[in-house]
Each structure stands twice: as C-alpha cells, then as structure tokens.
Structure 1
Amino acid sequence: MSDYAVIDPSTGERVEEFEVISEQDLASAIGSAHEAYTTWSRTTTAEQRAALIRRVAELHVERKDELAEIIVREMGKPLAQAVGEVEFAADIYAYYADNGPGFLADEPIQVD
C-alpha cells in the first residue's frame, strides 16, 4: 500500500509519512462514527456538547503556538498568519459553544 507524505512547502522537506487507510480500517472508522451518532449524540444534551466544544476552543488557545507550527510545516504559511488562523478557529468554536444550545432550542411557531 502506498504512503501519504507531508511535505513542508517552504523547504520541500518530507516531514512525515503515513500509510493510506485500508478498506477494512475505513469501514471500521465509519462504523464507529455511525455508532457515536446513533448513541452518544442522541443521549447528550446540547449543553453537554457545547461544553466539549468550549474545551476544544480552550485547547486551541492553550496550544496555539504548537498548532501554528504544524500549519507552517504543512501549508507553508507565515507564522503570524498561522497563529491568526488558530485563534480564528478557537473563536469559531467558542461562538458555537456559547450559542449552539440556543440555536438548537425549540421555537414556537404561530399558526393562524
């Protein structure tokens, strides 16, 4: 099976290689995702899921330098832009953590 290589576009250096996923592993991953959808996502509240998304935002902020360095290596972006991208992603996660439960709340519909 062939490999997938991550190349640093700014240097041309091969950073890391990964094996391409097998059909069996892909089917297993899809099965796991489907299981999570039909069980966990149906048994947790919007507030519980929002708390997890809030934690993702916090982790992005805590690890922004590390994440930005990955972006630089994999995409060739300047470091300042990569940091900005991580911070922007954290803001998006925080927005949905703050507003997601409200977006999903039932709304009365007036029928005349």
Structure 2
Amino acid sequence: MKQPSEIFFADEKTAKRFHQLKEGTHEEKFLYNLISKKIDELSQDAIAGKQIKKACIPKHYRLFDNLWKIDLNDRWRLIYAILTDDQGRISLIIDWLDHKEYEKLLNYHVK
C-alpha cells in the first residue's frame, strides 16, 4: 500500500545545495533531475526506498532513527527520513551521495 508524504529538506543548507545543482555543470543538472524524480516518487510513496538498519546509521545522522535510502541510479543514493505529524507523513531529504561515499559512510565493506 502506497504511503503518500509531503517533502521537506532537512535544513536550508540542503535545500540550497539541491537548487544550486539546477544551475551547475551538466553532471550537476543531471543529478538535480534524478533527485527531482525521486522526490516526486517519494511524495507518492514514502516507503519507496529501503530502510537503513539502525546499527548502520552513522553518528552524524543519529538524530534520525528512521533513516531510509533510495537509489537515484546505479551511482547515486538519496538519504531521507520518514517522520509523521498530525497531518500525515513527511519525507525529509537529508543528503545525496555517490555509491562509494554511501558505502563508506555506512561502513559497508567494498571490495
């Protein structure tokens, strides 16, 4: 069952970083479009991604105990949290990173 959500950025810095991609290099514009498509997808279904195991959540993300990731493509990952309030679900966009950064951040062993 789909779980619609409102989309917000974790903070102003993250929102600004996202919007700057639109005016950046060709690769940054491409990344902006990937993120935009996933934001649309998350607005329709907050649980479209995969939940990150609590034991794998890095220290600087521990403010969020309900952390999720969704693949933007085979190279990029979007990190978000799912929150709820009186109005319903909220998908909070926290970060995006390339696959290698993502694996390093979550202490996955890359060979």
Query: Hey, which of these two has a bigger chunk of strand by percent?
Result: 2
Scaled by the length of structure 1, what TM-score is found?
0.29
Query: Hey, which of these two has a bigger chunk of helix by percent?
Result: 1
Scaled by the length of structure 2, what TM-score is found?
0.29
